[in-house]
Amino acid sequence: MPTNDSGLTARDIVETGDREADLAVQADKLAVRELIAEIEREQLETLRRILDAQTSFGGQGLPAMVSGLESGSGDPDRSVAAVYGTGEIDPNPGGAQMFGDAAENIEQLIIRVAQETSGFAGVGRAGLSPVQWRALLQALIWQESRFTIGARSPVGAYGLTQIMPGTASDLGINPEYYDSPYLQVHGGARYLATQLKTFDGNIINALAAYNAGPGRVFEYGGVPPFRETQYYVSVIPERYNLYLSRIGGIEALGTIDPALLANANLSLTGHGAAFYGNNSPAAIRQAALRIADIVERISETEDVQESVALNTYARAELVRLVAARIRLQAARTRVLSAEELAQASARMAEGAFMDFTIREIE
């Protein structure tokens, strides 16, 4: 008769359960190992792609990407050269006046224009040497504007040489002369030289024509009987003689009274900074569009090398933006410096005025 060993059966059940549990554990371990292996394969694939991107086989789109960004993505106004300039060239229309070779004081500007225009026919007809021509031009500017770039008369004459808009149009400098000290001086020199030629080198009649118009001089056969014009043709020759006594050569500096020169430089830098600032928003907008181009290209990169290059390019763009901001701040700083110099010169002039003696009073 068969017998049933309950103890043995119990042990078999326990051992079977242990083996099943062990098999389950082993299965879990295998699944984990397979998962780890899969992760490792993915990591290796990622590393392979990174390595591939760092070789000549990666970054195939880099040249086109960089070229596109540099050129403004097809918009010339958004190119690097248009927004930030190249080398020492500032693309801002006011950049040359504020920071370039054109950043002259009023005396240097008069010298340059006098040199450029001393060969005009009217100047030769009057028998004026380059030095004399400079002295006459400087005296005219003194009378017209006291060397202030933004001077405006009640009738609309504007700038250093007080050119009327109609005359500026005839000279081909309207409206640009409103923002260009050079065009104001050069335009005035051209117009005065034209009057000298028209009146056969007669300086007094030419000055009268500059002030009242050539038609009036022809009408009266000489200087018109207008108080302003009569004064004009007497005070400018006086100032001409003063400047001529100070000018030892065409390029002589220090011939304009310090207070006037300081105020003139303040007007130049102030107007230049305003012009520079007024043109900055357009550049800022284009810079923002350039940043947008960079951001949009992030999703278009095909490999790590392009991503790294785009990140580097974005950093370079930030440096360009900082440089542009520094220039804008520098424009304002130049105005503050010019203002301080003008104030100091005014104080010196006041000091000289108060430095008198009893003999001088008598």
pLDDT for 192-232, tens place per residue?
999 999 999 999 999 999 999 999 999 999 999 999 999 99
Q: Which range has the worst mean pLDDT, 112-116, 186-190, 246-250?
A: 246-250
Q: What is the average per-residue pLDDT within 320-326?
A: 66
What's the confidence (pLDDT) of residue 74? 77
Structure confidence by residue, pLDDT tens digits, 285-315: 777 778 778 777 777 777 667 777 777 777 7
Phi, psi of 256 (to 5 degrees): -100, 140
Is 350 an annotated catalytic residue? no
Q: SS3 for 343?
A: helix
> pLDDT (tens digit, 9 = 90+) per residue, 54-97?
554 455 666 777 777 777 777 887 787 776 776 666 766 665 66
One-letter amino acid at 297 equals R
Rg (CA), the chain: 40
Q: Of these residues, 144, 228, 339, 362, which one is catalytic?
A: 144
Q: How far apart are CA 26 and CA 209, in angstroms?
A: 111
Query: Rounded to whole angstroms, how far apart are CA atoms 96 and 268?
Result: 13
Q: Give per-residue burial for 76-115: e unless 16+ CB within 10 Å, then b.
A: eebbbebbbbeeeebbbebbbbbbeebebbbbebbbbbbe
236-270 per-position pLDDT tens digit: 999 999 999 999 999 999 999 988 888 888 777 76
CA–CA dist 265, 253 (Å, integer)? 14
Rounded Cα distance between 283 and 291, Å, is 12
Q: Using 50, 70 and 90 to split pLDDT, how confident is the model at 157?
A: very high
